Structure 1
Amino acid sequence: MPPPPDAIDPIAEARRRWVEHGWVDAAPGMAAITSLMRAQAIVSRRVEVALRPLGITFARYEVLMLLSFSRRGSLPMSLIGARLQVHQTSVTNAVDRLEAADYVRRSPHAQDRRATIVTLTDAGRELAEKATEVLNRDVFSQPGLGPAGVEVLLGQLDDLRHDAGDY
């Protein structure tokens, strides 16, 4: 549903007030960061709505997909955290939930007693495939920008991530 014709963009209004208060140099950055955070919330909600009927979160989906892309369908837990760029506690939480639902299983590493291997089950592979179909159809193929806009956004986000040392 489109906003009413007299709707005010709260971020544009905040930017105007930043300028009004003399924070002219910071106003564009404030508007950009606030817009980025709002966009992230919008996208997260779309992903959540798409995955909810499958009983999975995006964090768990990412673990399943990472495992499905691996040659053996298994990886050490520490490598999962590194590849997904998340804290080990988040990986443990996601794997706990996936294991409880029989989508993955844990086993000790053959050579390193301190390490744990996480392996995708057949049910986990099926869920990953189904979730990917849903996300491709309902979210990824319709991101809210045209193809040119997506490429521009990717370039800008790549610059931001690179400057932050994300890779």
Structure 2
Amino acid sequence: MSHQLPADPIAQARQNWRDHGWAEAADGMAVVTSVFRVNQILLARIDAALKPFGLSFARFEMLRLLGFTHSGRMPMSRARDLLQVHPTSVTNTVDRLEADGLVRRTPNPRDGRSFLVEITPSGRELVATATDALNEQVFAPLDFDAEGMQAVSRLLAGFRQRHGDFREPQAPPEPL
């Protein structure tokens, strides 16, 4: 959006919700709508930062995930779980990255029915440069102080956990 609106349309929508008898849902509607709008803003910033590298955020995430591993490779099913996407999305992402020479698929030596995806040296180089760009243009300059970022992260993590995104880690058993 190239111009700022004179008032917050989500606040106006919240009031409209209340005026139409939906007061119990008004704040929830405002939160959901705000999260979607923030998502749009952040995706636009991410897309702009990654465009010079020819990467989508999905492709970046796959490369960064592989770059974090010690061996530079992992089973495609593990990547799917960690990225929390449909198997078809992982396959499509890997297909495109492989076509660009940024990853390669190899048979999984532990399971002959599956494949490992492995980052190539050119993939490592590209993701390192793209990470620097995202850190400088998107992640570091967020408009929250450290306390605000931690509070938002805690709120969203709690919501995600309550809705089945992940389990609370269990404490190790007491020694006998």
Q: How far, CA to CA, are the matches of 2:37 and 2:76 in structure 1? A: 32
Q: Shift in Å at residue 8 of structure 1?
A: 2.3
What is the DSSP-based 3-state SS (H/G/I as helix, E as strand, rest coil) of the residue aligned with 1:50?
A: helix
1:47 aligns with 2:46: yes
DSSP-derived class of the 1:82 partner: helix
Asked if 1:3 is matched to 2:4, the reply is: yes
- 1:2 offset after TM fit, Å? 6.8
TM-score of the aligned structures, taking structure 1 as reference length:
0.95
Give the unaligned 5+ runs of structure 2: 167-176
Bigger shift: 56-65 or 142-151? 142-151
Which amino acid in structure 2 is aligned with residue 140 of structure 1?
F
Give the corresponding residue for 1:162: 161
Give the structure 2 partner of residue 109 of structure 1: 108
Q: What is residue 56 of structure 2 aligned with on the other side?
A: 57
Residues 141-150 or 92-101, more deviating: 141-150
Taking only the aligned residue pairs, the percentage that are identical comes to: 45
Corresponding residue SS for 1:81: helix
1:129 match:
128
Task: Return the alpha-carbon distance in structure 2 between the equivalents of residues 120 and 153 of structure 1.
Answer: 32
Structure 1 stretches of at least 4 aligned residues deviating more than 2 Å after TM superposition: 1-4
1:147 deviation in Å?
1.8
Are residues 1:38 and 2:37 paired? yes
- Aligned residue identity for 2:162: D
Matching residue of 2:137:
138
What is the match of residue 80 of structure 1? 79
- 1:92 paired residue number: 91
Taking the aligned partners of 2:142 and 2:3, their CA distance within structure 1 comes to 17
**How far apart, CA to CA, are the structure 2 residues paired with 1:134 and 1:27?**
38
SS at match of 1:25: helix
Using the alignment, how far apart are the partners of 1:75 and 1:23 within structure 2?
Answer: 48
Per-residue CA deviation, residues 21-77 of structure 1 (Å, 9 max, x unaligned), is: 000100000001100111011111110110001100111111111111111101111
Letter in 1 for 2:32: I
Whole-angstrom CA distance in 1 between matches of 2:149 and 2:121: 34
Q: CA distance change for structure 1 residues 124 and 149 in 2, over 3 Å: closer, same or farther?
A: same
2:23 aligned counterpart, secondary structure: coil
